[in-house]
């Protein structure tokens, strides 16, 4: 770092393999103590870690102790991550992350019907549960296998801002689902360094960038045919009587319609 190229610690850190989701926090933001309120209680070796992030000269004692230096390095990464989570909720931070989002730096949604929708990093937000009297969450994590976790309302975002709880995930604003990053080099990035509220803050500030919900949804063909009593070639029954939009349980529907199951378009034909 002290080479002739004079790369700042922040640029060096953000340029490391696996740190591509981070944006470079303005040093002015870090130098404002108000923005760092409370972090000294969360991060060990806070003072030295902050000096490292800001490229201030370390103590001679620290330079002579490589073991201590490693600890400071780890603390600096944690401190930067927690500062980063706050910074990306500011106008300047949102603008920087928006640029990365538009460039596809966070990857694209793997869902076919999302049609390569860019995604945004998000911290842990998939813990289900209702707000308890003490303000903490109850419940359990869901859907850990396969695709990922579905972001549902009713979460307690506060829990996710604690480092070490979960690795970063990616939020697709089109299908509103959450995915594990494709590359394993992002599987060790703490989700707390992005927070749970970031994508929603971004679209609240810039609603013009919120994509429309996907027009199509996958429906299995095989299952659709099974609904027709297992006969693949059986012609579809005539459309029920009544105006479009009337359900079979409305009083105006004919007795015949009432007897039929809810008949939408054959799911296979939607495709």
Of the candidates 83, 88, 175, 202, which one interacts with Zn ion according to CB under 5 A?
175
Of the candidates 97, 172, 253, 257, which one interacts with Zn ion according to CB under 5 A?
172
The one segment of 14-22, 47-55, 114-122, 255-263 that binds Zn ion by CB under 5 A: 114-122
The one segment of 3-11, 69-77, 102-110, 146-154 that binds Zn ion by CB under 5 A: 102-110
The answer to whether 111 contacts Zn ion (rule: CB under 5 A) is yes
Of the candidates 23, 109, 151, 253, which one interacts with Zn ion according to CB under 5 A?
109
Pair of tokens at residue 30: 């870090």
The answer to whether 178 contacts Zn ion (rule: CB under 5 A) is no
Strand-pair partners of 118: 108
The answer to whether 148 contacts Zn ion (rule: CB under 5 A) is no
The answer to whether 127 contacts Zn ion (rule: CB under 5 A) is no
- H/E stretch holding 52: helix 46-53
The answer to whether 120 contacts Zn ion (rule: CB under 5 A) is no
- Cβ 241 to Zn ion shortest distance, Å: 39
**Phi, then psi, of 30 in degrees rounded to 5:** -70, -30
- Cβ 129 to Zn ion shortest distance, Å: 25
Cα distances from 145 to residues 8, 119, 192, 214, 271, in angstroms, run 40, 20, 21, 24, 27
Of the candidates 84, 169, 174, 240, which one interacts with Zn ion according to CB under 5 A?
174
Alpha-carbon distance of 204 to 209, in angstroms, equals 10
Cα distances from 89 to residues 92, 124, 176, 249, in angstroms, run 8, 16, 20, 48
- H/E stretch holding 15: helix 9-15
Grouping H, G, I as helix, E, B as strand and the rest as coil, residue 152 is coil
The answer to whether 84 contacts Zn ion (rule: CB under 5 A) is no
Cβ contact 204:120 at 8 Å: no
The answer to whether 169 contacts Zn ion (rule: CB under 5 A) is no
- Cβ 143 to Zn ion shortest distance, Å: 15
**Phi, then psi, of 177 in degrees rounded to 5:** -110, 170
The one segment of 9-17, 80-88, 107-115, 258-266 that binds Zn ion by CB under 5 A: 107-115
Q: Which residues bind Zn ion (CB under 5 A)?
A: 109, 111, 114, 172, 174-175
């Amino acid at each position: 770092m002290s080479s002739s190229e004079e790369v700042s610690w922040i640029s060096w850190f953000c340029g490391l393999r696996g740190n591509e989701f981070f944006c470079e926090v303005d040093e002015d933001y870090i130098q404002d103590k108000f923005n760092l309120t409370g972090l000294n209680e969360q991060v060990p070796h806070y003072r030295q870690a902050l000096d490292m992030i800001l490229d201030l000269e370390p103590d001679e004692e620290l330079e002579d102790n490589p073991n201590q230096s490693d600890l400071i390095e780890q603390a600096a990464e944690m401190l930067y991550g927690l500062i980063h989570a706050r910074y990306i909720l500011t106008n300047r931070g949102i603008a920087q992350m928006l640029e990365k989002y538009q460039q596809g730096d966070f990857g694209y949604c793997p869902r076919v019907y999302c049609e390569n929708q860019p995604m945004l990093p998000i911290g842990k937000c998939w813990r289900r549960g209702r707000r308890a009297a003490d303000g903490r969450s109850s419940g359990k994590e869901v859907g850990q296998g396969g695709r990922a976790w579905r972001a549902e309302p009713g979460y307690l975002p506060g829990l996710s801002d604690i480092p070490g709880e979960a690795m970063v995930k990616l939020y697709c604003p089109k299908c509103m689902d959450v995915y594990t990053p494709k590359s394993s080099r992002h599987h060790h990035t703490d989700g707390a360094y992005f927070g749970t509220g970031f994508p929603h803050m971004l679209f609240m500030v810039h609603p013009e960038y919120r994509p429309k919900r996907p027009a199509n949804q996958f429906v299995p063909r095989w299952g659709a045919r099974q609904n027709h009593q297992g006969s693949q070639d059986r012609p579809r029954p005539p459309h029920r009587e009544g105006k479009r939009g009337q359900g079979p349980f409305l009083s105006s529907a004919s007795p015949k319609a009432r007897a039929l199951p809810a008949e939408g378009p054959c799911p296979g034909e939607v495709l």
